[in-house]
Structure 1
């Protein structure tokens, strides 16, 4: 069987047939209750969030959704979140901290919405505030990248104690097309760009930038279920100060890992 190229995995990550956040909720959690709105200006449906039970433990779930049909995709803005969406996420995170609920995020986005209205409503600030908030939350956070994890749109929900990626998902500073357009002025060179960018789950795991890779087979949901049980139980045993300190060190040490990556490239 021919080995998949990086760009093959990019295309798989974008496939509309892949399970979206609603499927993960259906397979892994019970009694999900959706919570809407940012309590300021509106509700962004590209982010689905709420409360659910996980093996008897109440948890908060926040996930990005692209939609399956054209109608759904337009309704969810193709998974490109607005400031209202990130503010909704932050509202749910603060509530989770207040009631001592672990947070699980599902990430699948081509990037935050770059439109004029989003910028006028504080897109960059919303992303930065979300990252800052997650860095200081006193409850366990687990982020699972299920498809595309591009740009600040993904980073806004991935400052977590544990970051997992599905084997055919990607995690990148921007899309390969965007990278190629900036670097070589030719978006058609996206396949070449994807190889240079080092964005696959295996590459990022090897560099120590994520914590685990989840195989995409018929046992995937069972594997995620068991891993969530184990990690939530383990993280809940830590004191709040230890949890925050470990999270800080996790991301602080990325700088050293980036230096190692630079040496390897050279």
Structure 2
């Protein structure tokens, strides 16, 4: 898969293009090992410097990177015996939210998450990760099953927001999101939500009302997209960067506001630069958090979750 470079990564892309060019020349015009090694070190230093000082708008671009690991990648790498469950038992099946039963490192769990797709066909199939009411009603169905059988719930959040189409609104989009959020808050089993890319508005929180909310280092989580906020505040979507800078949508800000519990570090260059390492890091942190919650009773889990959400936004 060809590397997709973001706008602010252009200097890195130029260096890596020179490395590739010299590598091709080496096969016909002699050795360029020292020059290639020097350029590789320079590219790594530049990448390290760039990613150590990303602003919120740059992080928004990283969170949306098309090669970032998606739900299906986490399922394939972290889970075994995955059995997908489909449908909301009312209208149909929504492929923007996938879920089912699986084993996470030997433990039976219920898992669900947004899936954006990785090419034109799959993006259309999964509606770019923007769920309709059926997706959130399927999530409620899965959470009900988890409580019935005493299984922990793992959710993976990556959506620009719930689908705003006319049909979705006619079928009760707002009510479905509210019911899913409510069910997450009332679960009597451990639940861990991980923001893996974009966490957009109610479409995200509907499956992120969990006992613990984790967030990848370069992900974002917000009440509205920067473009949407710019359109409302200034009637100018081109001011999305200004909105992102003001909205406190990055992981450190959200930990300070007690919206997120823990930040999961990403490999140098973002999760898309080393997908295997990024996914393993997520799995390790989820395992730690599950162990910490495993001894709590259903009532203790509900009280702990209530304390967590009541504390959001407090500055002391």
Deviation of the 1:226 alpha carbon: 2.3
Whole-angstrom CA distance in 2 between matches of 1:18 and 1:12: 8
Separation in 2, partners of 1:50, 1:199: 30
Among residues 55, 60, 64, which one is paired with 1:10 in the alignment? Answer: 60
Residue 94 in structure 1 maps to residue 144 in structure 2: yes
Structure 2 match to 1:232: 290
SS in structure 1 opposite 2:307?
helix
TM-score by length of 1: 0.94
Residues 169-199 of structure 1: CA distance to partner in whole angstroms, max 9, x if unpaired? 1000010000000001100000010010000
Query: How far is the alpha carbon of 1:251 from its aligned partner?
Result: 0.5
Contact 2:88/2:138, CA 8 A, preserved across alignment:
yes
1:151 aligns with 2:195: no
Asked if the contact 2:99–2:112 (Cα under 8 Å) also holds between the matched residues in 1, the reply is: yes
State how far apart, in whole Å, the 1-side matches of 2:307 and 2:252 are: 22
Output the CA distance in 1 between the equivalents of 2:109 and 2:206: 19
Distance between the aligned counterparts of 1:103 and 1:74, measured in 2? 27
Deviations 1:113-139 (A, max 9, x none): 011100000000000001111111100
Aligned to 1:125: 175
Aligned to 2:249: 199
2:73 to 15, 23, 28: 23
- Determine the structure 1 residue equivalent to 2:299: 241
CA–CA distance in structure 2, aligned partners of residues 235 and 246 of structure 1: 10
Do structure 1's residue 80 and structure 2's residue 138 form an aligned pair?
A: no
Report the secondary structure of 1:222's partner residue: helix
- 2:164 corresponds to 1:114: yes
**Which of residues 75, 82, 100 in structure 2 aligns to 1:32?**
82
Greater gyration radius: 2
**How far does the alpha carbon of each residue in 1:54-97 deviate from its partner, in whole angstroms, 9 at most, with x for none?**
12210010100111111111111111100000001110110011
| Deviation at residue 227 of structure 1 after TM alignment | 1.9
Provide the rounded CA distance (Å) in 1 between the counterparts of 2:196 and 2:285: 15
CA displacement at 1:255 relative to structure 2: 4.5
- Give the structure 1 partner of residue 105 of structure 2: 55
TM-score normalised to structure 2 length: 0.79
Structure 1, residues 7-46: CA drift from partner, whole Å, max 9, x if none? 1111111111100001111111111111100011100001
CA RMSD of aligned residues (A): 1.2
* Structure 1 unpaired stretches of 5+: 261-266
- Please give the alpha-carbon distance, in whole angstroms, between the structure 2 residues aligned to 1:110 and 1:207: 21
Greater Cα shift, 122-131 or 207-216: 207-216
Matched residue SS, 2:214: strand
Q: Contact 2:258/2:311 (CA < 8 Å) preserved in 1?
A: no
Counterpart Cα distance in 2 of 1:67 and 1:225: 21
* 1:233 to partner: Cα distance: 1.9
**Residue of structure 1 in register with 2:314 after alignment:** 256
